[in-house]
Amino acid sequence: MGRKVNVIGVGMTKFAKPGESEDYHVMAGKAAKAALADAKVDYKLIEQAYAGYVYGDSTCGQRAVYEVGVTGIPVVNVNNNCSTGSTALFLGRQAIEGGLAECVLVVGFEKMEKGALGSKFDDRTNPLDQHAGLMMKLQGFNNAPPAAQMFGGAGREYRWKYGTKKETFGQVSEKARKHANNNPYALFSNVLSLEEIMASPEVFDPLTRYQCCPPTCGAAAAVLCSDEFAKKHGISNPVYIAAQTMATDYRSSFDEDSMIKMVGYDMAKNAAKSLYEKAGLGPEDVQVVELHDCFTANEILTYEALGLCKEGEAEKFIWDGDNTYGGKYVTNPSGGLLSKGHPLGATGLAQCTELVWQLRGTAEKRQVPNAKVALQHNLGLGGAAVLTMYRV
């Protein structure tokens, strides 16, 4: 075991629609400054910075960090698809845990364009091509965005396997909108009824428009430090990272002709098992969860992968209200990717920010009562699943 890693500062910008945001470095600078102010730490004490983004040039991280100061520190640029923000957090945590630094800054940002997730697969030679090939083999290829075909196909497979109602998927989105209504940082805060969600245009069965996360612009940041640093600077009772794991694809992602496996189920399940072992805690110890609900289908699959309910029981879990206030867990109190928005590089750090606020008891109208243990799940196809457990 390495050293204890504390999250002493967090910050984020309000998420915005493409075309309505500031430039990436301005958003990133604001998030980083907010995290530093929250930590009450001068930027001169930051020893390393990790900057996560998906769309941009190779040293956008430097441009973003230089908004805060130009001090010559190492700046590491990180790109791991939709799990980029948590991957940057993973690296920053390793630096503190391994004794390589005492205090680091982690920032994630994205300035996206309209339709950024809707282009068809091309001839890129990266591991995601394997997902594309399997998708076309199993589902055919139509005009829906590739990501919607992948996760919609997984939702369709789940329905075939368990007889799940289409309305169950819509119910996840209704919950997300209710939660986002209390989040001033969310892109969509207007409440939608289940009927409105189900009546919205179909994207890829069983997904309708309001069951798909939107391209989003925004930034979020966190300041991490060692126990020694925290004590030296008078920081008492900070939120800390109890455990963190990352898993990438297993052969099952490609060899089992399963859309559910292809979109990261086994990655999440195995990462969760490892996380619980490292933390010495189980899902029953968790009160609040921020998970990767890029599509309603993935939230349903992730409940089971994380052990929040048994396999095949997500429908009952949802209709019993065990995924919201008054139930067993509050999942995505922020509104999640579905309603808060999904700026790829910022998402993992926005999840971190929300959970730190929850554990501090400063989440205002969306505060989860008596939150002591929080769980984060951030997924990127290609693939990587990063899970983090936070405690106070």
- Residues marked active site are found at 82
Rounded distance between C-alpha atoms, residue 255 and residue 262, angstroms: 9
Phi, then psi, of 169 in degrees rounded to 5: -65, -45
CA distances for 299 relative to 295, 342, 346, 357, angstroms: 7, 14, 19, 22
Closest by Cα among 105, 39, 99, 102 to 69: 105
The distance from CA 216 to its chain's CA centroid, rounded to whole angstroms, is: 13
CA distances for 11 relative to 32, 36, 180, 245, angstroms: 7, 8, 17, 23
Rounded distance between C-alpha atoms, residue 390 and residue 243, angstroms: 7
Sign of CA dihedral 340, 345, 346, 352: positive
Closest by Cα among 45, 68, 2, 24 to 240: 2
